[in-house]
Amino acid sequence: MATYDVTETSGGGTTRMSVWFEGIEYLSAQGIGATGEPKRGQFVRITLTVKNVGTKNASFCSDGKIKWESDTTAPQVVTTTEGVREGADLNTTYRPGQSLNGSFNLDVGAREGKVAYWQNLTDAQPSFVLNLFRG
C-alpha cells in the first residue's frame, strides 16, 4: 500500500489518497484486445484499489501520468489507450471514504524496471512507485 498527499479538487488544500497494488499481468496485444503491437515492447496491466482516506474530495487520473524506467532507459510516459481495462474506471473524483478497484494498461519497454505515478508531472517526486518483475 502507498499513501500520498494530493491537492483537493475544489478550493485548494490537500487530502490523502491510498493505493493498494492488487496485481501486475504481462499480456500480448491479443490478450488485452489491442489494435496493434506495443510500441515500446511489452503490454502490462496494473490492477489497483484507489481510496480517498482524507477529508476532502480528490481526483486520481492515470492517463499521461505514469512513467516507466529501467537501469538502462530514462523515464518515459507509458500510458496507452490500447486494450480493454477491467473493473471500474479509476480516473475519477473520490469523495472521502470512497474507493474503486480497477485496472489500466501500460506499454513499457521491458518486464523490469519500475513504473511511477505522478499526480503532477512537475512534482519533485512521484506519488507512488511500483517495481516490475520479470515474469
Contact residues for 80 (Cβ-Cβ < 8 A; gap 6+) = 38, 43, 105, 106, 107
Please give the pLDDT value at position 78.
Answer: 95
Q: Residue 120 has which C-alpha cell?
A: 503532477
22-67, pLDDT tens digit by residue?
Answer: 999 999 999 999 988 999 999 999 999 999 999 999 999 999 999 9
The ranges assigned to domains in the chain are: 2-130
DSSP 11-79: SS-EEEEEEEEEEEEEE-HHHHT-SS--SSSEEEEEEEEEEE-SSS-EEE--TT-EEEE-SSS--EE-B
13 pLDDT band, cuts 50/70/90, is confident
In the CATH scheme, what architecture does the domain 2-130 have? Sandwich (2.60)
Please give the pLDDT value at position 121.
Answer: 83
Q: Residue 32 has which C-alpha cell?
A: 488485452
133 pLDDT band, cuts 50/70/90, is confident
Neighbours of 9 (CB within 10 A): 14
Asked if 12 and 61 count as a contact pair (C-beta separation under 8 A), the reply is no
107-117, pLDDT tens digit by residue?
Answer: 999 999 999 99
Residue 98: pLDDT over 80 = yes
